[in-house]
Amino acid sequence: MNKKLTGAVLATAALAVASEAAATEWNVSVWGKRRAFTEHVEKLAELVSEKTGGEFTMNVSYGGLSKNRENLDGISIGAFEMAQFCAGYHRDKNRVITVLELPFLGVANLEEEVAVSKAVYGHPAAAEEMEQWNAKLLMTSPMPQYNLVGTGDPRDELAEFEGMRVRATGGLGKAFAAVGGVPTSVTATEAYQAMESGVVDTVAFAQHAHLSFGTINQADWWTANLNPGTVNCPVVVNIDAYEALSDVERAALDSSVDEALDHYLTNYGELLERWDSVLQEKGVQKVEIDDAVIAEFRAKAADPIRDAWIKDMEGQGLPGQELYDLVVKTLADHRSGS
């Protein structure tokens, strides 16, 4: 090989090595399988890759990197760069965002859930608490109000919740406990087995999770309008990894968040539109709870749990009342268009 050709080959190889070294690859820890709950993560990965010409990529792993209850711990030690978790899995580690899991907040749709989550994630107390875990709140995973699936006769009276073993985490668990239920916080991936084996009588999930984790296949009935609240599941990034991004990569990531959430909302909306046909196909009875029963549930669960939460947070040096007021104001502002 002549010297000129050898030089050209070496130069090409050097450029390839440099290009490979410059590329950024993130590992992302989620769980279960790809579903409506993870579509914004998948879309974010797609957008970031497109905007950087493939120089910034994300490998989304469904359970291969960590257990769902350990994702925040994994972020804190840099085991991976991005992860999704739910506040109810470890309430002591993410106290601030549990305001979003209080029962009967009155959030009416996914757009409102995005609005209140953004407001709380943007509060200094939320950022400060997440910094303890070397985590930065990136975006929420908005879910509609949870409802129950169960076996046997429908439980459509409050007295029938007495002794009911229910898979419900966080504020939802407290709400059911307030009316005599017995909540258990088994993870989403364990819910089907818990229902199948009789460990729980009912499971509280959003629609996508009833489908993805198979609980709808065990169900005889589903409450269409109980709507006691939902859970909050952020996507976070490791602060060191975020700060190590180039300006171009960071801009690609930040600018893709709203686009990814818009995609999520569109996708989830399609699921909600076909939900009644899913129930019919699987032979699950749609149960409408009487307004008086819901009002009784709210009276026993909403105010007492909210007041106890605020007192508990204030006692720990966190702005509980301010955070709750922020949620209320954000909802009002969102509805007024301001």
- Per-residue pLDDT tens over the stretch 45-84: 999 999 999 999 999 999 999 999 999 999 999 999 999 9
List the strands of the sheet with 165-167, edge to edge.
182-184, 165-167, 202-205, 147-150, 221-223, 285-287
Average pLDDT value for residue range 89-104: 95
224-278 per-position pLDDT tens digit: 999 999 999 999 999 999 999 999 999 999 999 999 999 999 999 999 999 999 9
Average pLDDT value for residue range 160-173: 93
- 51 token code pair: 């905007």
List the strands of the sheet with 82-84, edge to edge.
56-62, 24-30, 82-84, 235-238, 135-139
Q: Which fold has domain 25-91+110-141+232-272?
A: D-Maltodextrin-Binding Protein; domain 2 (3.40.190)
Q: What percent of the chain has pLDDT over 70?
A: 93
| pLDDT exceeds cutoff 70 at 306 | yes
Domain with CATH 3.40.190.170 in the chain: 25-91+110-141+232-272, 147-230+283-336
Within a 10 A sphere around the Cβ of 24, how many other Cβ atoms? 17
Instruction: Give me the amino acid identity at 83.
Output: A
Instruction: Look up the CATH number of domain 147-230+283-336.
Output: 3.40.190.170
Closest CA to 188 of 76, 28, 35, 26: 35
| pLDDT exceeds cutoff 50 at 5 | no
21 pLDDT band, cuts 50/70/90, is: low
13 pLDDT band, cuts 50/70/90, is: very low
Mean predicted lDDT score pLDDT of the chain: 92
Q: What is the pLDDT of residue 124?
A: 98
Q: What residues pair up with 149 in beta bridges, in sequence order?
A: 203, 222
